[in-house]
Amino acid sequence: MFVVSEEIVKEIMTQELAYDAIKGAFITSYQARGEIFPVVIAKGCDKGNIFSIKSGNLFDQRLSGLKMGSYWSKNTLRGLPNHNTTIILLDEETGRTHAIINGGYLNGLRTAAANAVATDYLARREATVLGVLGAGHQSIFEIKAICQIRNIKRILINSRQQETAERAVRLLADDGIQAEVSTTEQVCRQADILVTVTSATAPLFQADWIRPGTHISAMGADQSGKQELPIELISCAALYADLPAQSRKIGEFESASLLTPELKITAIGAVLSGDDRGRRSSDEITIFDSSGIALQDLSIAKMVLDTAISRGLVNQVKF
């Protein structure tokens, strides 16, 4: 069995490699060259602590496994991220554990890469203003990923907690990225690209704050009851998702689908493979919902593991 630490992951994985891995995973999902199984949502012993399990397989790579993501609400008091991730890859012949990968940092890159891939194919080429609602740990990954695929000239950030937004601005400045704190309304009204990355269970803004031609990536909804966008906006936009069926059950489009069961949601893989044209006009509002699929985790984990083995960074251990 191989054990891959977070330090090794950071040595290997880049935003560019994450982009390639996630783009491939979306196409694989759309072309049904792998399976995605129902998400399991569970709770820890203490209130506010939850974890989820996403599992799947990739036929052509002969790969099966799962990701366990946890949210422990009091970790910030311990100086630790609230979110943590572990990825387990199985030996396809025996079903025994083949690798365990510390996926905390990797999950940040993977989630942001999903945003970057969808935004790259759906946002207008001339988009230069990035708005972000939510300023937690994941928002930094999201901003850096978008800056890789667009010439972003202005970044506006809003958070329910002013100090959190200010901290995000400082962290970005340390990496040479200039951002500013703004109100929710101004973020929405000025953004060419809007990213929502919160745990909200109700809309964050009003539909009429969004300008024609805006692209929105909704990154926060990953279980039933979460919602970041107003239904009025969803009803008049072109909708895309990593996995449409999952988006209707635990993603951003859950509430809208309950009201409109025939709601059209296109798999982003259809756009990436050329089966769907994506954005149809410069005035169209496009929305991408990322509820997260196991094939993303398997694809990026295999990339890390294969690279770590080839570089001699990991050795097998007995288990």
Biggest CA pair distance of the chain? 59
Q: Is 225 exposed, middle or buried (0-12, 13-18, 19+ CB in 10 A)?
A: exposed
| Known catalytic residue at 23 | no
Cα distance between the two ends of the chain: 7
Out of 67, 74, 153, 318, pick the active-site residue: 67
Active-site residue list: 67
